[in-house]
Amino acid sequence: MDTLLREKAERQFKIIRWIGYVWSGSLLIIAIAVEVVKRQYDPFQGFVPFPQIEQLRYILLAVATITLVALRFRRFFILSNTYSSLDSTKPTSIVHGETHIQQLRLVAIISYAVCYSIAIFGLVLFLVGGNTYDCYLFMALSVVAFFIYFPRFDQWEQHLLKAEREPIHSKKSPSGRVRQIVAILLVLGMLFWVIAEMREQDTDLKEKTKQEALRPAPVPKEGKAAPSVMTREESKEILGVISSLDAKVTILRFFESGYNPTDMGKRDYAGQFRRDRSRYIYWELHLEHPTRERRSDFQIDEIWYKPDGSILAKQSLKRHLEESWVNSFHYHSRGWEEPSHWIPGKYRLELSTGGSRFAVGFFTII
């Protein structure tokens, strides 16, 4: 390799390498920001509630995978591309070398941007859903991507030596075309697969929601308490009425689950939950009410109290009653996708609508 060309390549490589150090090192800023937000808003459950957070996670994982695969072929395309114009004032080898150094710089910058964008996916998931696992998972993928695609001078040197030996041509080789076609087909195939999976999950979710909304709530037999519900003496719970709906509260009980609640017939209701196994704690409310002339929309306001009596969270749930319904059930939750976040002790939940409290329930974390 020409000495002048080698010195120029080394200078450019040092600059690109330091840019990479700064870019990859800034991942620490994301990690620090995540921890600050976690402590500032403890318990942090995201700024924008998004019911399909798991689907979003799979989409971003698929996008990250597709992007990394496409990056490899994009790098090959850029580095295999040739230029037909030459600067007649410089030797052919120097022109070749400078052209390929520019290509190597472009490939490095594109690689940095793609690798860093994967960490940004995790940050977005954390800010939406509040789960640090999402952020650190994508950050780990980003670190691995930086390690794989970080530029190395021996690779630059090999590429420049190869460029010196190859004649200038403007047409792409048949093998290059085949690789590009294969890459495009792979990316399109993965995109179609992701779209099909999302449509299937969305259909299942809509069907599940529809079935749960239409399924009447079971009414306990007279003289028997609902199973797994704490007695009034133990919990001092309140089961009242909602005057605006002419509805009576018959059951308020709790169960543990992941972000997507367990199906109705498989829920394990309890008044106590183990801290090392508790993720989201759901409340489930059963109402009895007469039929009505038209649909009634209402909002359930929740206040969750910590064991020390301070407020854990305030949130609301918009619900409705159809004209033909004579009973209904409603549920909502609070928690994390990972266990062991709940503080041991007795928690209190107050439910109200229109400023009138109609139910109080208790559960204990042990």
| pLDDT beyond 80 at 46 | no
Across all residues in the chain, what is the average pLDDT?
76
Q: Tokens 């503080």, residue? A: 343
Higher pLDDT: 284 or 161? It is: 284
Q: Quick one: which of 242, 240, 262 has its CA closest to 252?
A: 240
Q: How many residues does the chain have?
A: 366
Q: Which residues of 153-184 are buried (b: 16+ CB within 10 A; e: fewer)?
A: eeebeebbeebbeeeeeeeeeeeeeebbeebe
Task: Please state whether the peptide bond connecting residue 43 to the residue before it is cis, i.e. omega within 30 degrees of 0.
Answer: yes
**Domains of the chain by residue range:** 3-208, 232-365
Q: How confident is the model at residue 219 (pLDDT cuts 50, 70, 90)?
A: very low
Strand partners, 329: 286
Which DSSP letter does residue 47 get? Answer: S
Q: What is the mean pLDDT of residues 37-59?
A: 74
| pLDDT beyond 70 at 197 | no
pLDDT tens sequence across 297-309: 999 999 999 998 8
Global pTM value: 0.47
Please write down the long-range contacts of 138-146, taking CB distance under 8 Å and 24 or more positions apart. Answer: 138/60, 138/64, 139/27, 139/30, 139/31, 141/64, 142/27, 142/115, 142/116, 142/118, 143/24, 143/27, 145/68, 145/114, 145/115, 145/118, 146/20, 146/23, 146/24, 146/112, 146/115
Q: Quick one: which of 171, 214, 186, 193 has its CA closest to 80?
A: 171
Q: Tokens 């169960």, residue? A: 255
Q: Quick one: which of 15, 31, 12, 13 has its CA closest to 142?
A: 31
C-alpha distances out from residue 308 to 295, 305, 352, Å = 40, 8, 21
DSSP, collapsed to helix, strand or coil, labels residue 221 as: coil
Phi, psi (5° rounding) for residue 302?
-115, 140
CATH class entry, domain 232-365: mainly beta
pLDDT tens sequence across 311-356: 999 999 899 898 899 999 899 999 988 888 999 999 999 999 988 8
Q: Are 247 and 286 in contact (CB under 8 A)?
A: no
DSSP, collapsed to helix, strand or coil, labels residue 125 as: helix
DSSP, collapsed to helix, strand or coil, labels residue 362 as: strand
| Tokens coding 287 | 């109402």
Q: What is the mean pLDDT of residues 78-107?
A: 59
pLDDT of residue 222: 36
| pLDDT beyond 60 at 238 | yes
| pLDDT beyond 90 at 194 | no
Q: Are 266 and 308 in contact (CB under 8 A)?
A: no
Which DSSP letter does residue 143 get? Answer: H
Q: How confident is the model at residue 63 (pLDDT cuts 50, 70, 90)?
A: confident
Residue 81 burial (CB count, 10 A): 13
Max mean pLDDT range (61-65, 148-152, 258-262, 268-272): 268-272
Strand partners, 270: 254
Angle at 220 between CA 214 and CA 226, to 5 degrees: 105
Q: How confident is the model at residue 150 (pLDDT cuts 50, 70, 90)?
A: confident
Report d(CA 273, CA 259) in Å as an integer.
16
Listed in order, strand segments (DSSP E) in the chain are 238-239, 241-242, 247-257, 269-270, 272-273, 280-288, 296-305, 311-321, 327-335, 345-353, 356-365
Residues 6+ apart with CB under 8 A from 203: none
Q: What is the mean pLDDT of residues 243-269?
A: 89
| pLDDT beyond 70 at 201 | no
